[in-house]
Structures are given as structure tokens and as C-alpha cells.
Structure 1
């Protein structure tokens, strides 16, 4: 950052970063000055798509927020893409991301966009949110036939804090926790996520997330690579914060070292929020690969 050249650096708290540098590295607004413009584009596109596509609302739990918007392609036995949105674990609703369904509907797949509690609504308890999204995927697996899908064709994707949550979905112990087969997922796209929570714990995000030794261990996907049973696409942009770039690179490298089926996509000149636009674009560097992953099961 420009001000780092003139300010006096404080004690190191993570790698070569002092507290301000680390806090900035987990604050997207510092590295993406066009955040509000990208969000305005997203909101306009999703409002139009939601009104036109008219998704079905499906519950996966007991509370009103525990549901998902389901977009049907009308095709029987089709793949289902399950999308988990970002928002620093604090903001966003499924309908805000309706436009992301369209490229998948166009190839004959169904799309489920998840709702779940915000971290503020669960008093900083991240495990509650992880449990919700895992239960949502388990519910979709169990009811795939009723939804017009196929249990063997369930894909997951997520961005930012949704990338973290999706990483937790990918390393779920499906057999132990849900009594399901270990191969619930057919593929995953993890965009600009956090896969090791220790540096996040040391950042200002700890002001609203109750990080503990136990949940840092349990909810850092990079520590549970033995549970990965599906092909994974990891993506990030070159204009993201240094930590979000490092998180993605190191997660990809760890998956590769573990012998997993993984592909890294680096989007040139894209910041954190523009990555989601690259996912929505069927001709973009992420969209092309993400759609191909699902299309292979059509």
C-alpha cells in the first residue's frame, strides 16, 4: 500500500506484516476502491434476474434463514450447483446473487443459492454458520431427486467468506457427521477464500468473530486435506490483498502436494469483487472452467 512507504512499521504479527498491514490485508475496501460500483452492478443484475427467474424457496432447517433459492433448469437428473455467497461473514442474502444462476441454467443445470445466518446474528460463532451450510448441502443431496437433480452431480462454489465456508463444505466428514457417502460432491470452485484461519484470527476480524484454538483448527480447510474427495478449482485475482493471494496460492499448493485433483486460476488485473464477475462470465477465465466442470456431468 502507498502509505506503507512513509509510515513507521510496527512489530510483526504475521509473516512480514505489522498489525495495520495485516488488518488492511483482511479489509477488501483498502485494495478495491471500486467496491461500491461492483456491488451496484451486482445488485442491479440480481434484482432483474430474481424477478424474471422466480426461484423456488426451499427450507433446509428450522429457522427462516435456513433456506435456499432454487433455480430449476427444467431438466430431469441435472447437476445442481450450490452457491455460498460472501460478505465478510456479515452481509448478503441469496437473492443478492440471483444473476449467478443464469449461466448454469443455460447449460441445463439447476442452481441452489444458500442463505445462512450472519456472524453478528450468531454472536461471532463461526461454527454455527459452517454447520448451516453443511446441513444445506446434505439436505440437497438427500432431496436431489425431488429437486429434479442427481445425487452424483452436486457441485459447490463460493467466494470470499463464502469461499471459506465452501472450503469447509469440501472437507466435511460426510460419513461421520451425516451418515452419507464420502463422495457427496462432484466438484468445487473456491474463489478468493480463506483456508487457514490463524492470520484472520490475528486481524481486526477477531473483533466480530470468536476465534478459538478449536475452531481455527476445525474450520481451516488446509488442515483437513484428507477429506477432499472431488476436483477443486482455486481462483483469485492479481489485484487482491496480499493475504488473499497467499491464501489461495498456498491452498492450491497444499492440495497439489496431497495429490488432489486441483486447478489454479489467476485472473490478471482483477480485484476481490471483480472475481465474482469473472465467475458469472461464461467466457471469462473462471466462468469457462467452472461451467466446464458442471457441463461434464450434463
Structure 2
């Protein structure tokens, strides 16, 4: 990271708790009715997509935790690129069941999709959640061919806490332990993510995360950039809470400063929760950006 970015992140972490509580309260950016409507819509689209396109359901990817993933859009006798989506929910809510909304759209373009489950806080620490998500990538690298996935064409994305976890997947320093190559992920699309955890450790989310200073350093994607970063597209919603906007902009800049490829989009007319629905829309800016990210970064 540049000295300027380090300074900016340190300044943010030092903001008063009352300010950070506002800046990272995504839930306060929409009404209760709108939130419920978005969640119902995401679930309905995902369940319909799973019913039509799921090819492998509830695949155990990690023997230690027994966590599972769903694979959609594969075809017998063919290896397809795969977009791996990691759900949000501040690491304590939601599941893979609401996370296959892009399956139909991608299947139409010969791209498989994978929805990853992980143990939620407080049943697991954030360190364990990160380990599980990285284990899902290792599983797809090692066993993807058994499920119609080309392990040399893995792409990752996620929203909110899932954006953080996608950042942890493209961070450096973990790949050797999991026996995967440093470039196991060819490109990434983090949405409304959290990439520096110091402000999170100083706001209301610390009540369930219980992050130590060592956790903050080890689990912040912005502090653990890979030596060979893949191309990324960072996106956030126009109606985003201020902290999520700042983190997206700073992460994009840190990627550029490291000499890697990054684009950034503010998605107009969307909020922290409904931005993901654009991944089900082939005509949306985000949907087209995802297709381009995959097409432009083959194995």
C-alpha cells in the first residue's frame, strides 16, 4: 500500500465510534419493507435458477467443517469457466440458498456458477470463515473437473462481507498451504466489500466479530495484496453507506498502486442490498462487466 493510502485508512479507523456506526450501517440505508422485498426477490430468483440449472447440489468442499457449495450451469463432457459467488450478511446471516441468482444468465453464456456456504458468526470466528472460503477454492481447483468446471478458469465475486471474503481469496500468502497456485483465481468482482478491518473492529460489528489486532492485520485484504494480483472490477451502489464506498474506492486504488488492473463502478439507482440483482440481468452494467471480466481473462 502507498503511504497515502495507509494514512487514509488509519484516519478512518480513528474516527469516533458514533461516526463509524453510521458509516458501516448498511441496513439503515433502506426501509424495512424494501429490505424484505429485496431479500425475497433474491431468494425467489435463486430458487428458480437452482431448480432449472443446478447440476451438483450440496457438495461438501471441506471435510473439517462439512460446509457445502452448489454448482449450476455445467454440462456433461464439457469443462466450463466458473464464477464463484460468496454471500454477504456481515458474516452472520444469509446462505448459499439466496446466492444463485446469476446462474441462468451465466449458463446462457456457457459459464458455470458456484454458490458457497460458510459457517456463520458466532459459530465460527472470522479466521475460520476465511479458511473455509479458501478451502472452497482449493476444492474447485482440485476437483472441479469432476463437476464440469475448468480449474484453470476460476473467477470469484461476493457482496458486502462476501466482498471481503472474495478479497481474502485474491490476497496473497495462503495458496501454498492449500496446494493451489498463486494465480488460482483469474479475475474478481467484489461488490460493496470490506477490505480493511480496522474500522470494523471499532464499530458495532465488533460486538459479534471480536477481532484482535492480529486478526485485523491478517484478515484485511488491503493489507495482504498478492504479488501477482489478478484483474478486478470493484463496484458499489449509489445508495451505499459511506464506509463501504470509501473502502471500495481505497481498495481499487491500492490495486492500481500495486501495478495491477482494476476498474471501479458506482452502480446508479442501486443500494447495498439490491446491487447483486444486477448479476441476474444480462443488460445491466454489472452483468456485462462480469462477462467481460471472464472473457478478457482466460486461463
Whether the TM-score (by the shorter chain) exceeds 0.5 is yes
Q: Residue 21 of structure 1: CA displacement? A: 2.6
| Structure 1 CA distance for aligned equivalents of residues 88 and 244 of structure 2 | 14
Q: Does residue 88 in structure 1 map to residue 86 in structure 2?
A: no
Runs of at least 5 residues in structure 1 that lack an aligned partner in the other structure? 1-12
CA distance in 1, matches of 2:175, 2:122: 30
What TM-score results when the alignment is normalised by the length of structure 2?
0.89
Q: Check if 1:279 corresponds to 2:276.
A: no
Corresponding residue number in structure 1 for 2:4: none
Aligned length: 284
5+ residue gaps, structure 2: 1-10
* Post-superposition offset of 1:15: 6.6
Segment of structure 1 superposing worse, 168-177 or 202-211 = 168-177
In 2: Cα distance, 1:243 partner to 1:234 partner? 15
Residue 174 to residue 141, structure 1, CA distance change in 2 (3 Å): farther
Contact 1:173-1:227 at 8 Å conserved across structures: no
CA distance, structure 1, for counterparts of residue 136 and residue 201 of structure 2:
26
1:244, distance to aligned residue in structure 2 (A): 0.4
1:146–1:54 CA distance, 2 compared to 1 (3 A): closer
Distance (whole Å) between structure 2 residues aligned to residue 152 and residue 63 of structure 1: 25
2:100 maps to 98
For 1:132-169, what per-residue CA distance to the aligned partner results, in whole angstroms no more than 9, with x for missing partners? 00001011011122122222111111101000011001
What is the distance in 1 between the residues matched to 2:175 and 2:209? 28
* Distance in 1 (alpha carbons) for counterparts of 2:95 and 2:13: 34
Q: Which stretch of structure 1 is more off in the superposition, 140-149 or 128-137?
A: 140-149
User: d(CA) in 2 for partners of 1:16 and 1:223?
Assistant: 17
Cα 1:29–1:180 shift into 2, 3 Å = closer
Rounded Cα–Cα distance in structure 1 between residues aligned with 2:51 and 2:108 = 17
Asked whether the equivalents of residues 65 and 115 of structure 1 are also in contact (C-alpha less than 8 Å), the reply is no
RMSD of aligned alpha carbons? 2.0
Deviates more, 1:52-61 or 1:130-139: 52-61
Q: CA deviation at 1:85?
A: 0.6
Tell me: CA distance 1:277–1:111, structure 2 relative to 1, closer, same or farther (3 Å). Answer: same
Equivalence for 1:231: 231
Structure 2 CA distance for aligned equivalents of residues 89 and 115 of structure 1: 11
- Residue in 1 aligned with 2:6? none
Quote how far apart the aligned CAs of 1:23 are.
Answer: 0.9
Partner of 1:9: none
| 8 Å Cα contact 2:95/2:117 also seen in 1 | yes
Q: Secondary structure at the match of 1:86?
A: coil
The superposition leaves residues 71-113 of structure 1 with CA deviations (integer Å, 9 ceiling, x where unpaired) of: 1331612101111011110111212122221211110011111
* Cα separation, 1, equivalents of 2:25 and 2:227: 30
Alpha-carbon distance, 1:227 to partner: 3.8
Alpha-carbon distance change, 195 to 51 in structure 1, aligned in 2, over 3 angstroms: same
Deviations 1:237-293 (A, max 9, x none): 121011000000000011111110111111123210121122322211211111122
Secondary structure of 1:104's match? helix
Indicate yes or no: 2:185 matched with 1:179.
Answer: no
Aligned residue for 1:99, secondary structure, equals coil
Question: Secondary structure of the equivalent of 1:226?
Answer: coil
Counterpart-to-counterpart distance in 2, 1:102 and 1:135: 26
In structure 2, distance between residues paired with 1:38 and 1:72 = 24
Question: Distance in 2 between the 1:175 and 1:31 partners?
Answer: 37
Return the alpha-carbon distance in structure 2 between the equivalents of residues 72 and 107 of structure 1: 9
- Tell me the residue number matched to 2:74: 73
CA distance in 2, matches of 1:26, 1:141: 34
Tell me, what secondary structure is at the counterpart of 2:200?
A: helix
